[in-house]
Structure 1
C-alpha cells in the first residue's frame, strides 16, 4: 500500500511587502527559468522577483528567491556562505568542467589511492586562487563568457580569491568521488573539480552538484517550483491577494 503524502502547509504570504522563497531547483532548469516562472505566476501583478545566487542548469538544490521589497536584500543573502554536495568524476576533463560538454581528455586512474584523494583536499581549503570556467555566466566586454566559448573564441579569465572552509570526501567508488563543500560567495565548484583532478595528475570534471545550504537556509525547507506556482494560482483567487 502506497502511503499518501500529507498536503503541504504554506505560510501566509505577502509577496508585495516581500518574501524570501526557498526553491528546490530542478535539473536542467536555469535560475532565470525559476525567476521567470514565478514572475509570470504573479501576473497581472507586476512584482519584482530576483534570486540570490545563480545555480548552473545541471545543478539542483537550493535557490533563494526574493520578492517585492525584499529584492533590495538580495546582495545580503547572496553574500552568505554556501554548502554543496556532489560528485567528481576522475580520469577525464571537459571544456566546461562539467557535463555541459563532452570529455576531451582521458587519463589512467589505476594507480590512484583513496589516501591520495583524501589528502589532496588540503590544497583546496582556506583562501585559494581560482579561475572561473570559460563556460560561465560572467560577463566580459558586455557579453556572457559561455557565449564566447560556444563560438570557439579564445577567452581570458582572471583568477579570483575564494574561501573554502570545508572540503570533505564522503564516498569513493572510482571513477566517482562524492564530496561536501562549504565555501564563500563566488566559488565555482566546477573549477574546484577541475583543479582537484589537476592536483592529482589524472584530470577530473564535475558530474553532479546540489546546493544544500545558503546562510541559514536549507534545501530541506524548500518548495518544489510547481507546487509553489500552483499555490500562488489558488491564492490569486482570494480578494485579499497581495
Structure 2
C-alpha cells in the first residue's frame, strides 16, 4: 500500500508582534515541506488563534477562513491613530470623560448586525493588484470601498477610564480596527484598538491551541522519531 498524502491542521496561539507569515514560515521549516499556509491573517499586534494547514489540508483553508470569528480586546476612547491600533502614534481627538456606558452601548448597537464597513488603509487588502498598506506607507491615498460584513455580537465587558473591553463575533472580512474607528466617530471623540485576541474560528477554540515554541519542539521530536 502507498502511504497516504500528508496533511495536518495546527491550532496555534500567535505570539505578539509576529506576523501570520512568520508563524507559517516557522512551521514550514520545522516540517521541512513547502505546502503550508494559514487560514486568516492576524495583525502583528494581535494575538490568539491562528489555523495553520500543512500538506493536503491546505485545500481546506478557504473553508476555515469563511467561518465566523470571535475576538476579545480593548478600545481606547479620546484619541486615534493612522492605523487605528498601536502600530502608529496616538493622536488626541477629544475628551471622552462625559460619556456614559449607555452612550457607548447606543453606538455599539449601531455597529451590530449587517453593516457597511470601510477596511483600514493599513491592511493587506489588494486594490489594483497592490496591498493597500504598501501605498499607505508611501503616503499614497487609495479609495477604499465599503464592504458588507456581519457583526453578530458586540458585547461590552468593561467600561472604565475611557477604555472599552469587548467581545465580538463577526463574519469573514470584518476589521476590528475599523470598528474602533467607527465607534470613535459615532461618539465624536475618536478611538483606537489597544489590544486584540482571536478566541474562536468556527468551532475551533483558542483554548485548544498550542504555544508556537511548544509545537515546534513537538514537530522536531516527531521527525527525529520517524528517522
> TM-score per shorter chain, which class?
over 0.9
Which segment is superposed worse, 229-238 or 138-147?
A: 138-147
Aligned partner (choices 11, 15, 27) of residue 16 of structure 2: 27
Contact 2:97 2:162 in 1 (8 A): no
Q: Please, what TM-score do these two structures have when normalized by structure 2?
A: 0.96
Cα RMSD (Å): 1.5
Q: Which residue of 2 aligns with 1:226?
A: 213
Matched residue of 2:213: which SS?
helix
Q: Which residue of 1 aligns with 2:29?
A: 40
More strand by share: 2
CA distance in 1, matches of 2:24, 2:225: 23
Q: Which residue of 2 aligns with 1:142?
A: 129
CA distance in 2, matches of 1:139, 1:174: 37
CA distance in 2, matches of 1:211, 1:138: 19
CA distance in 1, matches of 2:98, 2:117: 27
Instruction: Kindly state the Cα deviation for residue 132 of structure 1 after the two structures are TM-superposed.
Output: 0.3
Counterparts in 2 of 1:206 and 1:15: CA distance versus 1, 3 Å: farther
1:51-130 pair list within 5 angstroms? 51-130=38-117
Please list every run of 5 or more consecutive structure 1 residues that lacks an aligned counterpart in the other structure: 1-13
Aligned length: 225
Q: Which residue of 2 aligns with 1:185?
A: 172
CA distance in 2, matches of 1:52, 1:141: 23
CA distance in 1, matches of 2:19, 2:11: 15
Q: Which residue of 2 aligns with 1:8?
A: none
CA distance in 1, matches of 2:4, 2:140: 43
Q: Which residue of 2 aligns with 1:50?
A: 37
Counterparts in 2 of 1:65 and 1:183: CA distance versus 1, 3 Å: same
Contact 2:180 2:193 in 1 (8 A): yes
Matched residue of 1:19: which SS?
strand
Matched residue of 2:152: which SS?
strand
Counterparts in 2 of 1:152 and 1:105: CA distance versus 1, 3 Å: farther
| Deviation digits for residues 102-152 of structure 1 (CA, Å, limit 9, x no counterpart) | 123421112111111122211011110000000001112222111111111
| Deviation digits for residues 1-48 of structure 1 (CA, Å, limit 9, x no counterpart) | xxxxxxxxxxxxx995211110000100000000000001112xx241
